[in-house]
Structures are given as structure tokens and as C-alpha cells.
Amino acid sequence: MIHTQTRHLLNTLLILALTFGLAAPAWSDRVYRHVDEEGNVTFSDEPPGDGAEEIKMQPITTMPLPRPQQRQARQTTREETAEESPAYDTLAITKPEHDTAFWRASGDIVIEVNVQPELRPSHSLELELDGERIQQTRNRRFEIINIDRGTHEAVVHIINANGETLQSSELSRFTVHQPSRLHRQ
């Protein structure tokens, strides 16, 4: 005579085995396409009869979740970046002053920058002139040779060793006047 709990366990296992055994065809990777006389298209996991074509299914793309230690490493990297992030009270273009105009026959100008506190060893300054990043330095001075006459816009960025922008100055606009080449003799 089988004990009541054992019988209940066997019945549960039998139900589970039948459920998964009958459900297995629903998990099939076969799909059939059928077009009836009126042009209606039907997709099914069972072949509907004559004229059905089997469609080859591509495997599902999956990506494994990162392991806990990988997530911890990424968090540490973010924390290191946060420690390296802007701690500069001042970043400003001091020369030429914003919205000034000046004559430069040669077209050579100097852009000076105020940074407080001092740049960290892994940081540098990068000059963006008219939307294009053109120079990097650890000095507070950029020398531009033979700049075209006209109005220019400059921004200075503090970048880290990976070239990522950490902080940017406000835009400074200046105009360079030069004698016309048409009037030179």
C-alpha cells in the first residue's frame, strides 16, 4: 500500500511529465507558411496541408548577463572617472577678450587660458576654434599661426588621458582685422 504523500508526489510528477511532453511541440523551431486560394497567408507550427512551406528560423540571439565581478569592475571605473571629473573652479579664455576686435597683419594670435586649480597630471587643454579641435597642450597658451581675418569662436576643453572632455570653457568670440591683399603694393 502506497503512502498518501508518495501517491500525491507520483501524481504531481506524472502531471508535470505529461504537461511538458505535450507542450514540447509548441516549442518547436519549425514554422510553416501557407497561402490559401484567396491569397491569405497563414503561419503555423503545424503543417496545414498541401502547399505549406517550411520556413527556416534563425537562432535567437542571446547575450549573457555580466558576472557580478564585471559589474563591480565597471562601477569602480565609474567611480574613478567621477574622482577624475571636473574639480576646476575656473576655466576661461582670458586673451583675446570676448567680443573684441584687433588688427593682425601677420594673422598670428595667442589665446591664453586661466585654469584654477592647476591641471592634474593626466589632464590637458584642447583648443576648439570655429568648431574644430585644433591643438592640445598642458600650457595655458595656444599660438595660432596665420589665422584668417574675420570673426572666430573659441572654446577650451579640459580632457583626460583618454581624450574625453571633462570640462569646457564658455565660448569666446573675437574678430581679426587684416589689411586687404588687394591694396598691397
The backbone region for 36, taken as left when phi is positive above 0, alpha when psi lies in -120 to 50, beta otherwise, is beta
Task: Dig out the grid coordinates for 77 from the structure.
Answer: 571605473
Task: Dig out the grid coordinates for 13 from the structure.
Answer: 510528477
Note the pLDDT tens digit of each residue in 140-174: 999 988 888 889 999 999 999 888 989 899 999 99
Residues 6+ apart with CB under 8 A from 117: 87, 88, 89
Note the pLDDT tens digit of each residue in 6-46: 666 666 765 666 565 555 444 556 788 888 888 887 878 77
Domain regions of the chain by residue span: 28-55, 89-183
Burial state string for 29-58 with b = 16 or more CB within 10 A and e = fewer than 16: eeebebeeeeeeeeeeeeeeeeebeeeeee
Cβ atoms of residues 56 and 28 within 8 Å: no
- The mean pLDDT value for 84-107 works out to 82
Kindly report the CATH class assigned to 89-183.
mainly beta
DSSP tag of 29: S
Angle at 141 between CA 135 and CA 146, to 5 degrees: 60
151 vs 87, residue with greater confidence: 151
